[in-house]
Structure 1
Amino acid sequence: MFKKWFAKMRKPSEETLVAPLSGQVVQLEEVPDPTFSQKMMGDGIAIQPVEGKVVSPVDGEIVQVFHTKHAVGIRSGAGAEILIHIGLETVQMQGEGFEAHVKQGDKVKAGDLLITFDLDLVKEKAASTVTPMVITNGDQIENLDKIHHNNVTAGQHELIKLKMKE
């Protein structure tokens, strides 16, 4: 009797991340920044965006919105910690051209709007617009499968299937 009740309370161990932006998929190893290409922060995928809109890739909770609004951290329902970093060397923009639509502690669903940004301004002022999405707690991931796509639509295309360690 209690076994079924506790099973319902346990969080899921598998989940799928959808595209946080619309654009062309770039392998993380091809991102022109060693922090991401060498997976120093974790494994994942990147997108060359075609519009300035970032949505949540999963149902979860916002754990951090950087004060410059160029990056956001999400903890998924299964416990994956996901970092979405808009562009490269965008921190020096000091928030110019970025607008956060969420704050720390907010609960989000996959597809919910997180951040909007001026894509042309990022093209002008940053090193690149390529936007990595990485799993920063990879030591807690049992399996991470990337789903191959060339181009994706934010909130629609599945990009990563992962299984958490029990």
Structure 2
Amino acid sequence: MFKKLFGNKETVLNVTSPLTGKKVALEEVPDPVFSQKMMGEGIAVDPEDGLVVSPVEGKVVQVFPTKHAVGLETKSGAEVLIHIGLETVAMEGEGFEAFAAQGDKVSVGDKLISFDLDLVKEKAKSTITPIIITNSDSFEVHVEEDVELKAGSTSLMTVKKK
């Protein structure tokens, strides 16, 4: 009953940047899985340091065993994937440390993963980190204009249920 009364409010989710760095258009990511939006809509960040924080309030649905990626889910149902670098799965977790685990509740700015940026530069294809709304078919995704991003504070995109 209350859901019918109060459930029709338009809710817009603000996704802050999980990394400090420069914004990179998804179409410019040198990996067709991301640049052709096969995983969903989003944006990428070229990181200045090796710290990934939560861009949203929600829960951790997956931390990949190699710690190169983390999946989050918000109360609105938006699924956010943060994939650190490109072809970093081949590093088998070397240089990555996870601070969150599956099932953890997280707030904006909570530390999720740290990584050795120099090691990723040396061993992976790229440090560019896509941030994807993996179920973007159910959401409108609007990327913000800021180019310089600060982890946990700069708005990266807004997501609204269709």
Distance in 1, Cα, partners of 2:137 & 2:61 = 18
Equivalent residues, number: 162
- Cα distance in 2 for partners of 1:160, 1:4 equals 27
Structure 1 residue 5: Cα displacement: 9.5
Q: What is the alpha-carbon root mean square deviation over aligned residues?
A: 1.8
Picking from 156, 160, 163, the partner of 2:157 is 160
Q: Percent identity?
A: 57
Deviations, residues 85-109 of structure 1 (Å, cap 9, x unaligned): 0000000000000000000000000
User: Where does residue 19 of structure 1 map in the other structure?
Assistant: 17
How far has the Cα of 1:6 moved from its partner?
A: 6.0
Equivalent residues in 2 for 1:115-134, closer than 5 Å? 115-134=113-132
Match of 1:134, SS state, is strand
What does the per-residue CA deviation read over 1:6-32, in whole Å, with 9 as the maximum and x for residues that have no partner? 638x89732100000000100000000
Which of residues 148, 151, 160 in structure 2 aligns to 1:151? 148
Counterpart residue number, 1:50: 48
Distance 2:20 2:110 in 1: 14
TM-score under structure 2 length normalisation: 0.95
* TM-superposed deviation, 1:149: 1.3
For structure 1, list consecutive stretches of 5 or more residues without a partner in the other structure.
none
CA distance in structure 1 between the aligned counterparts of 2:55 and 2:37, rounded to whole angstroms: 19
In the TM superposition, residue 162 of structure 1 has moved relative to its aligned partner by: 1.2
Deviation of 1:76 after TM superposition, in Å, equals: 1.1
Structure 2 alignment gaps of length 5 or more: none
Q: In the aligned structure 1, how far is the partner of 2:67 from the partner of 2:9?
A: 29
Deviations 1:100-147 (A, max 9, x none): 000000000011100000000000000000000000001211x21110
User: TM-score, normalised on structure 1?
Assistant: 0.92
| Letter in structure 2 aligned against 1:145 | H
Moved over 6 A (4+): none
